[in-house]
Structures are given as structure tokens and as C-alpha cells.
Amino acid sequence: MPIIYDSKQKTFKLDTKTSSYIIHVYRENYIVNLYYGALIPDTFVSKRVERSTNASFSVANPAIGGYDFSPDTAPIEYGCNGAADFRISALSVRNSNGDSTTDLRYIGHSIYQGKPELEGQPTSYLNDKSEADTLEIYAEDKVTGVIVTLYYTVFADQGVITRRAKIHNSSENPVKLERALSLCIDLPDMDYDLITLYGRHNKERTVERRRLAHGIQGVESKRGASSHCQNPFAAIVKSGANEEYGWCYGFNLVYSGNFTAMAECDYNGTTRFIMGINPTDFAWNLGAGESFDTPEAVMVFTDKGIGEMSRIFHRFYNNNLVRGEWKSKKRPILINSWEAAYFDFDTKKLVDFAKAAKKLGVEMLVMDDGWFGKRNDDTSSLGDWYVNEKKLKGGLSKLVSQVHDEGLKFGIWYEPEMISPDSDLFRAHPDWHVHVKGREPMQGRQQYVLDVSRKDVRDGLWQMMYDVISKNDIDYVKWDFNRNITDAASAILPAEKQSEFFHRFVLGTYDIMNRLVTTFPNILLENCSGGGGRFDPAMLCFSPQIWCSDNTDAIERLTIQFGTSMCYPASTMGAHVSACSRTGIATRGNVALWGTFGYEMDPRKLTKEERDIVLTQVEEYHKYYNLIHYGDLYRLVSPFENPYYAVWQFVSPDKKEALVTKVTVKRDEIHRTFIVKLKGLDPEKLYKCDITDEVYSGAALMNAGIVLYNYARNDGESIKLYFSEV
């Protein structure tokens, strides 16, 4: 049983195949964390709780007596504000008396097979009830009447625990949540590095590693989206941990809005990590009897290094996060009109694209921005989701059927949560944009944000989307989000609820996405936000793939894709070959194969030589599809650490095949003899390399390695080596 309750010791033990997590109910019903780390058989670990001899100005609960236990130093499971736990807290409740002291104590628990639903928010899910077990711990703050349910769902076979909290106001008075986070974890030391993913538009998810120090450190978003600038991912790893070795804790928030992910090292040399909705610009009113649910957070632990942490995330997301028809259905190779035509297209041009692309083996045409209202540049028409018949003469259905007649699927672009000041929608509804009364709102890309926190706005928007999608045979939708939120307020929320706006906006987005995927379950949805500005687990619950970045330069994509792979699998990473010419088309293809493959160029303009390469790429996409999408990724040489080349490898789950890709960023004479050791193979199996025809044991390939020196003559060259069992 992955969850056991030891009533003698008053401990809960949550075991996965890689980790143990132990919670203890201490005296006076304090809920404390005894252990999270590599699997251990014990249900109790002493000496973790009472350590206040080191405390600074010890404060203690007189009901316990003495100073052996202090909330100031104890590993409190869900840290709250005000009652002697001075660290960064997970919960802070402003009660009707005006103070914000919150002191949670255990009142009960339940353990059951399965996982409870979370209404209105995306979460991981079970394919089968037996896949996971859940522990609910109930805790109460006696004075405010706030009851918190801490949910822990243990995916034992996956090495994953998901967490979230429900905060319920059981009193007769209103309270205000000023912080309500998804997870809090106290680790017994501070000998760790924090790994996070920073970036910006065109340079998403750059891996950054820093040593933890005393004080608070971490990342957050206040941009109304999970954002390009920081991803809601953080790993806390032992200082020496690398791809192969060392303790690693990985955390990822299933949320698309403002988040915080902070570590605090206290004077006692312990580390608290918290993750959840960013408390800045957040306060939630809980009337008598009302509840608030935090988003879900995913926790991974492994003692086998950062690479294994990533692979646990990848398997979990492929199996328990991505859903719907397209979870396991092969994704079509697409060609997107954006970089080929921008706003300048008509029916003929798109059908010509389809015809030329068809000959290359491409399977879907995506009509990007510019098909609606009077949109010929980015100054107008967002919100006017009706077809521009000047461009698409005879209407959308004519275009769709012509593309279908060519044997290609058809996809369309939307940016639903936006409104152009120059749009019929804005003229008809001048209060439908996100704005503060009396202030001229900021513009981003000449647009405002549509206030989807409002149900009437969502209904109006959905009607427009439904009209187009239901009347045309649409196979795919690209859902974009091209600015961040400023002037955060809604025209219809009362003053005391404006602090709820950001979260309400995110819930509104989920609602429309949910309408789309449930009304049209056959449609493949691809998220996008100026590239990868909303690449997060919540979006993956709606769209199995997300456009990784507007930057399609193969060399720059290396760091973007290496960074993205910290927790997101190849099956989710939108990667296209574009006309961007720093490297040859072959390398662009080799890099794009590490993702949901497609093209972003005018297929009519390819040379004969390029067409031949594309035909090979298409063949390879099909050949390696399962290996890349569902195989195990090994980051052999990281472009963050090596300026000369990047090497990565996929191994099939049955270890019968492997694909190694090397991209030479900068040819370097000093590194001529370059040996790379493969990973994850079966040492006993014999593998043949398709390029050299040599046969080696898995043991030799992993221990002696292969020499890659003679495979690059120029910067930007690349090579793939395919190994199959003989």
C-alpha cells in the first residue's frame, strides 16, 4: 500500500517506487514533515521535530511546555502565518477581527484509492483508479473556523506525488485568504542548488542554477500568465547533483497564471520550499461556508540525478497529464502559414501551400493569424472572429474543403483572450477589456486583454468561436496569447473582489478551453503565447502540444529545448523547421524532430536539394515518432555547459533502439576526439549503428562510448546515429 497510517507513531508514510514521504502528527496536533527522500522502510524518523535549542528567541506553545518544540524551527507541513512559524508561509487568513494569525492543527484524515476531481481547474488524472492512492489530512484553525484539507495523491509506480489544498470557511464570518499555496515542504538542511527556467520572448526556459543561501530566493510571475520570464518549475538538488547522480526534488505547478516558487533557508540551516498562486495581487474572499481550491502541484523525487527527475516528469505527463484523443494518436506533420506569409494570404495562396506541402508528405495546413475581421497587420480585429471574405473568397468552408481535397487536415489560429481597440467587438462592448476605471490601459502589440473572468464575455466569445468551428471542418486550433496583463481589474467586480481578478481570469481561460475541447474532442489544440509564454502543465491538460518558441533558429532552439525538457516531454514541444538560415535545413530538421514536428516556411520556394531533405525528414519523423515521443530522454552534452556541441539521446522503453543526435554549434579543433557515452541502454544487448554498421554491446556503448570527432566539418552541422538491437 503506497500510503500507510501508523497509529502508534501517528505517522503517514507515502511511498513511491523512488521516494518516501513521512508526515507526523506531533503533540497538540501540529502536523510536521519527518522526511522526504529516497525510499526507506521506516515509518518514523526521530530527531527531526524537536530542535529548538538552536532557535533564536525561542517561542513555544505553553500547552506543550518547554522549548524543545517550537513552530519556529519545526518542519511544519503547511506553514501558516503568525503563530510562531516565521518562515515564508503557505497560508495566511485575514479573519473578521482583522488579524492574520493562522494556526492549523490536525483534526482527522482519510486514505483511499483513486484521486478526487478538482472542479474548474486542470489537474493530472488517473487512467485507472488503481493507479494512485490519496491521503486527505484535515486541519483546523480553531479561532477562525478555517478548515484546510491537504491532498496528497501518490502515483507509486511513477515516483510522483501531487499536492493541493482546499481552504474552507466553516465559521459564520467572512475571511480573506491572503496566501493560499499549493505546497510547502521543509527539508532538514540547506546544502542545495535551486534550478529554475528563466527567459523572455524568443528565449524561453533557460536553465539557471544557483546555490541556496540564507534568506528567501526563488522565482515568480506577476504577468497574468505563467510567462516566458519564469516557468512554474523549480528543482532543489543536492549541491553536487548532475544529470546522472544525486538527490533531486522537482516541483511543477499546474497553473497558467501568477505563481510563486520560493525557497527560504532559515537561521537554523533548514530549507522551506513553497509553490502556488502568487500572493502578490491576490486576496480571496471566503464567505461563511465557502471554499477555495488551490491549483495542483506535482512533486518528483529521485536520488538518480537531474536526468532521471526529468524522465519521471516526462513519463508522468505523457501518461497522466496529457489527455484526449490526441494523447496517443500520432500528431500530423503540419505546415504553418505564419513565417511563410504573415498576414498576406488568400485562398489561392493557402491552397498552393497545401498542394506543395502534400508532395513533401506534410499532413496538415495551419492558417495562422490574419483570417478574420479586417486584420492585415497587428493593429486591429482581435475579437472579430468572423471570416474575412476579401481574403478567403467563398468563405472558410471553401478553403477547408479544398485543403481537405488535397488530403491535408486543416488548422486555424485564434487569440481568444484578446481584443483590439480597433475592433467591432470593442466598439460594441467598450467595457469588455481588462482595465481599471479612470485609467487608459496599457497596450501590448496594439491590443487589450479581453476580460474572460466575466461569464457574459466568455459566452459572447464562445458563441463566435463556436459559429466558425462548428460550421467548418476544423481539425486543429492554435490558441495564442500575445501579451501580458496590466491594469488588472474587471468592470463588473465589486471593489472587495478586484483582488480576485487574476485568478478569476485564469479560471475563465480554463472554462473556454474546456468548452472547446469538450465540444470538439476531435480537434487537436496547440497552445501558444508568443511562442512559449504559457508553457505549463495546466495548458497541457487542454492541449497535448505547445508551441515552444517563436525562435526557430536551430542553434538557439538547442538551449530552449534542453531547458524545456527539464520537465516537459518531447511529445509536448512544438518544434518546426523554418526558413531561418543560420544552419542548413538538415540540422533544422534534426532539432525539430525533438518535438511535435512541422514546417513554418513557403513550401513552394524549396530547392530540389531541400525538397529531398524534407522528404527524408518526413520519413524519419514517422520512423522515430514513438522513440522520440514516448522514449526516455538523456541529455548527454548540454549546450548550457558546452559551447561547442549539444548531444541528446532517446531510448525506447524496451531498450531495443536508441537515437543519438549531435549538433555542432561551433567546430572546435581542440575537441576533435570527442567521445560520448550513451546512457539507458541494456548492457547485455547488442546494438548496430546505422551509420557505421558497427555492432557493440550496450555495456560498451555506455562505458567506452562512441567517438563523434569525424562527424562535423562545419559549424551548425549535425548528425543522427540510430542504434537498433541485433
Mind telling me the catalytic residues? 480, 550
Compute the least distance from the CB of residue 416 to ligand GLA, in Å: 13
Interface stretch with ligand GLA, choices 111-119, 523-531, 538-546, 673-681 (CB under 6 A) = 523-531
DSSP secondary structure code for residue 390 in this structure: T
Compare residues 193 and 368 and give the one whose CB is closer to ligand GLA.
368
Residue 530 binds ligand GLA (CB under 6 A):
yes
Compute the least distance from the CB of residue 547 to ligand GLA, in Å: 6
Compute the least distance from the CB of residue 378 to ligand GLA, in Å: 6
Compute the least distance from the CB of residue 448 to ligand GLA, in Å: 16
Rounded Cα gap, residues 374 and 351, in angstroms:
21
Residue 416 binds ligand GLA (CB under 6 A):
no
Interface stretch with ligand GLA, choices 60-68, 127-135, 526-534, 701-709 (CB under 6 A) = 526-534
Compute the least distance from the CB of residue 326 to ligand GLA, in Å: 19
Compare residues 100 and 529 and give the one whose CB is closer to ligand GLA.
529
Helix pair 608-630, 585-592: axis angle to 10 deg: 20
Compute the least distance from the CB of residue 607 to ligand GLA, in Å: 25
Compute the least distance from the CB of residue 236 to ligand GLA, in Å: 32
Decide: residue 117, CB within 10 A, 0-12 exposed, 13-18 middle, 19+ buried: exposed
Rounded Cα gap, residues 450 and 350, in angstroms:
29
Compute the least distance from the CB of residue 368 to ligand GLA, in Å: 5
Q: Compute the Cα dihedral for 268, 273, 276, 277 and give only its sign.
A: positive
Decide: residue 247, CB within 10 A, 0-12 exposed, 13-18 middle, 19+ buried: buried
Compute the least distance from the CB of residue 530 to ligand GLA, in Å: 4
C-alpha cell of 240? 553536487
Residue 410 binds ligand GLA (CB under 6 A):
no
Hey, how many other C-beta atoms are within 10 angstroms of the C-beta on 288? 13
Beta 146-155 vs 545-547: how paired, if at all?
A: unpaired
Interface stretch with ligand GLA, choices 270-278, 324-332, 525-533, 677-685 (CB under 6 A) = 525-533
722 Cβ partners below 8 Å, 6+ apart? Answer: 624, 657, 658, 659, 660, 689, 690, 691
Residue 133 binds ligand GLA (CB under 6 A):
no
- Sequential DSSP letters for 616-685: HHHHHHHHHHHHHHHSEEEEEE-TTT-SSEEEEEEE-TTSSEEEEEEEESS--GGG-S-EE---S--TTS
Compare residues 377 and 456 and give the one whose CB is closer to ligand GLA.
377
Position among 250, 531, 537, 574 found at the interface with ligand GLA (CB under 6 A): 531
Site string for ligand GLA, 269-308 (x = CB under 6 A): ----------------------------------------
C-alpha cell of 111? 486514505
Rounded Cα gap, residues 393 and 282, in angstroms:
47
Residue 528 binds ligand GLA (CB under 6 A):
yes
Residue 552 binds ligand GLA (CB under 6 A):
no
Compute the least distance from the CB of residue 38 to ligand GLA, in Å: 41
Pick out residues in 364-383 that bind ligand GLA (CB under 6 A): 368-369
Interface stretch with ligand GLA, choices 10-18, 242-250, 460-468, 528-536 (CB under 6 A) = 528-536
C-alpha cell of 274? 513553497
Whether the CB-CB separation of 554 and 716 falls below 8 Å is answered with: yes
Binding residues for ligand GLA, total number by CB under 6 A: 11
Compare residues 2 and 411 and give the one whose CB is closer to ligand GLA.
411
Cell 525506447 -> residue: 652
Residue 481 binds ligand GLA (CB under 6 A):
no
Cα pseudo-dihedral 444, 447, 452, 453, rounded to 10: 50
Beta 675-676 vs 706-707: how paired, if at all?
A: antiparallel
Compare residues 370 and 716 and give the one whose CB is closer to ligand GLA.
370
Compare residues 145 and 530 and give the one whose CB is closer to ligand GLA.
530
Report phi then psi at 354, rounded to 5.
Answer: -60, -45
Compare residues 122 and 530 and give the one whose CB is closer to ligand GLA.
530
Rounded Cα gap, residues 220 and 281, in angstroms:
12
Compute the least distance from the CB of residue 82 to ligand GLA, in Å: 44
Instruction: Give the closest residue to 21 by CA, choosing from 132, 185, 133.
Output: 185
Compare residues 19 and 337 and give the one whose CB is closer to ligand GLA.
337
Compare residues 163 and 391 and give the one whose CB is closer to ligand GLA.
391
- Sequential DSSP letters for 168-235: EE-SSS-EEEEEEEEEEEEES---EEEEEEEEETTEEEEEEEEE--BEEEEEE--SSSS-SSEEEEEE
Instruction: Give the closest residue to 644 by CA, choosing from 714, 589, 567, 596.
Output: 714
Residue nearest to ligand GLA (CB): 369
Instruction: Give the closest residue to 69 by CA, choosing from 60, 82, 79, 78.
Output: 60
Distances (CA, A) of 344 to 334, 400, 520, 538: 19, 18, 29, 33
Rounded Cα gap, residues 376 and 343, in angstroms:
5
Rounded Cα gap, residues 409 and 646, in angstroms:
34
Compare residues 102 and 336 and give the one whose CB is closer to ligand GLA.
336
Interface stretch with ligand GLA, choices 509-517, 527-535, 621-629, 646-654 (CB under 6 A) = 527-535
Compare residues 54 and 379 and give the one whose CB is closer to ligand GLA.
379
Position among 233, 338, 568, 687 found at the interface with ligand GLA (CB under 6 A): 338
Residue 598 binds ligand GLA (CB under 6 A):
no
Interface stretch with ligand GLA, choices 17-25, 464-472, 524-532, 661-669 (CB under 6 A) = 524-532
Residue 480 binds ligand GLA (CB under 6 A):
yes
Rounded Cα gap, residues 116 and 133, in angstroms:
10
Position among 100, 230, 268, 482 found at the interface with ligand GLA (CB under 6 A): 482
Residue 165 binds ligand GLA (CB under 6 A):
no
Hey, how many other C-beta atoms are within 10 angstroms of the C-beta on 446? 14
C-alpha cell of 724? 537498433
- The secondary element (H helix, E strand) that includes residue 237 is strand 230-238
Residue 334 binds ligand GLA (CB under 6 A):
no
Compare residues 13 and 557 and give the one whose CB is closer to ligand GLA.
557
Compute the least distance from the CB of residue 423 to ligand GLA, in Å: 15
List residues binding ligand GLA (CB under 6 A). 338, 368-369, 413, 480, 482, 528, 530-531, 547, 550
